[in-house]
Amino acid sequence: SEVKKDSKLMHIIHVTAEMAPIAKVGGLGDVVTGLARACLSRGHRVDIMLPFYECIQREQIDDLTLITTYNSYHDGKWIPTHAYSGTVSGIPVIFIEPSHQFFKGQHVYGGSYNELEAYLFFSRACLEWMQVTGTQPDIIHVHEWQTGALPLLYWDMYHYLSLQKPRIVLTIHNMEHYGECRQEQLNMCGLDGSLYATFDKAVDDRTVGHNPERLSLLKGGIVYSNAVVTVSPTYLKETLCSGWLSNTLIRHRDKYVGIVNGIDTAMWNPSIDVFLPSKFHAQNSEGKKLCKYYVQRGLGLASRNHVPDTALKVPLVVCITRLVAQKGLHLIIHAIKQVEELGGQMVILGKAPDSRVESEFEGLVNLHNQGPSIRILLMYSEELSHLLYAAADFILVPSMYEPCGLAQMIGMRYGAVCTSIGQLNPTI
Ligand code: ADP
């Protein structure tokens, strides 16, 4: 397709904790990859800077090459750090790998290292890399609390060194995570934490009487960025009207905008999706039936004796989500009963970061997975998620609140009706 060229082409570097599909936990990873691809297709130069998590599968990276070895500061020491370049799904990525415990482990989050310290290190290591390589993008685009210290480090340190050109954009994907940080933790990245312990800078407003010890990296990021974006105009209004960050956001209203997320239509395209046994699109959805039957057979929801047509008549409800309170856990559990009673089928694909939630759902697995209509898969699987969106008649999204939400958009792209629980059964 023709490349649309904007009149002012820019160099944009995303600094992020997640990137789909190699280091994705939720929507953040999807949005970073999708936005990078959209800007590349308009002719901008785009790079993504990502921690080189141990869990990243190297075979998913094309042209992985060591490009720079340098030292980056952490807690009084300079840590030898490798920067690699590579391409993921057509997008240039720079991987930052410190010789340290940071980012080791089987998952993106929840390793045995201190996460806050790791992302403080990463935020500085990205600026340090730009400094040592003389890379000056037009925009440094940071995301969430993990990279919230970067704007502080930029304006109060690296801008006085050699980085002059970049301006900083912060996107807030979910205000729930605020990056709680003590002054002495902020000291670890080389800033003087006490200088940020004021109401107009990074002190955490939720602490009664403004406990100057407790800071929020997200708030600091809002104050120090040139522009702050959130993932929908509605969420922008919600966050201005309520929540502990509302005062800060109102003070910075002029630079705060809500832009609705979209999905990466290259990654999420049922007419070419490599994970599907049969492709389909809006003009010809025959292939969707095959995907549904494939899932039903694979999960034991249709037996060998079933005629496909009989199995296909049963409505299939799919729910793909991080299993956290925000996503309406009690409503998901309620939906299981409703779907069963109404004679439908349901598949849940979810991962619970909290062990209590996990064991609650393990109980449901034991209760339902041998039965005829419900399957609960407690794991993260990119491949299965594609297959399930394609198989679904309904995508269930019963979130308590949703800054934007991608699951319903992906569902629609794959020909599924998206629903909150009330619509499954009008009596609720
Ligand atoms: P959030 O960002 O709050 O997690 P979104 O709806 O914006 O919610 O995005 C969630 C993304 O993560 C979607 O792409 C969804 O398919 C994916 N996802 C969530 N849980 C899983 C899982 N267990 N396995 C695979 N993909 C998942």
* Spatial distance between the Cα atoms of 345 and 286, rounded to a whole number of angstroms: 20
Ligand 1 atom, smallest distance to 261 CA? 7
Cβ 405 under 6 angstroms from ligand 1 = yes
What per-residue confidence (pLDDT) applies to 428?
39
Please choose, from the candidates 42, 38, 33, 41, the residue with its C-alpha nearest in 3D space to the C-alpha of residue 14: 33
Locate all alpha helices (DSSP H) within 299-342, ordered by sequence. 308-313, 329-341
* Spatial distance between the Cα atoms of 356 and 268, rounded to a whole number of angstroms: 32
* Interval 385-409: pLDDT, tens: 999 999 999 999 999 999 999 999 9
Cβ 21 under 6 angstroms from ligand 1 = no
Which pair of tokens denotes residue 308? Answer: 């496909």
Which pair of tokens denotes residue 14? Answer: 């995303």
Q: What is the complex's ipTM, to 2 decimals?
A: 0.99
Q: Is 4 exposed, middle or buried (0-12, 13-18, 19+ CB in 10 A)?
A: exposed
* Spatial distance between the Cα atoms of 221 and 240, rounded to a whole number of angstroms: 16
Res 210 pLDDT > 80: no
What per-residue confidence (pLDDT) applies to 425?
52
Residue nearest (by alpha carbon) to ligand 1 atom 20: 321
Expressed in angstroms, the distance from the first to the final Cα of the chain is 47
Cβ 349 under 6 angstroms from ligand 1 = yes
Tokens 């954009």 correspond to 169
Cβ 395 under 6 angstroms from ligand 1 = no
What per-residue confidence (pLDDT) applies to 304?
75
- At 336 the three-state DSSP class reads helix
Pick the CATH number of 11-258 from 1.10.10.10, 3.40.50.2000, 3.40.50.300, 3.30.300.30: 3.40.50.2000
Q: Tell me the pLDDT band of 424, cut-offs 50, 70 and 90.
A: low
Residue nearest (by alpha carbon) to ligand 1 atom 4: 26
* 286-424 is classed CATH 3.40.50.2000: yes
Q: Tell me the pLDDT band of 25, cut-offs 50, 70 and 90.
A: very high
Q: In the beta sheet, which residues pair with residue 95?
A: 50, 84
Which pair of tokens denotes residue 235? Answer: 């969420």
Measured from the Cβ of residue 213, the count of other Cβ atoms closer than 10 Å reads 15
* Interval 116-150: pLDDT, tens: 999 999 999 999 999 999 999 999 999 999 999 99
Tokens 């929840």 correspond to 110
| Exposure b/e, 346-368, CB count within 10 A at least 16 = b | bbbbbbbeeeebeeebeebeeeb
* Site to substitute for ligand 1 among 173, 177, 320, most atoms within 8 A of C-beta: 320
* Spatial distance between the Cα atoms of 165 and 138, rounded to a whole number of angstroms: 6
- Note the pTM of the prediction, 2 decimals: 0.95
Helix %, strand %, coil % of the chain (to 5): 35, 25, 40
Please list the residue range(s) of the chain that carry CATH number 3.40.50.2000.
11-258, 286-424
* Spatial distance between the Cα atoms of 170 and 71, rounded to a whole number of angstroms: 26
Tokens 């199995």 correspond to 311
Integer CA distances (angstroms), 212 to 182, 193, 218, 293, in order = 9, 10, 16, 58
Q: Tell me the pLDDT band of 172, cut-offs 50, 70 and 90.
A: very high
Strand positions, DSSP E, 31-163:
45-51, 62-74, 77-88, 91-98, 139-143
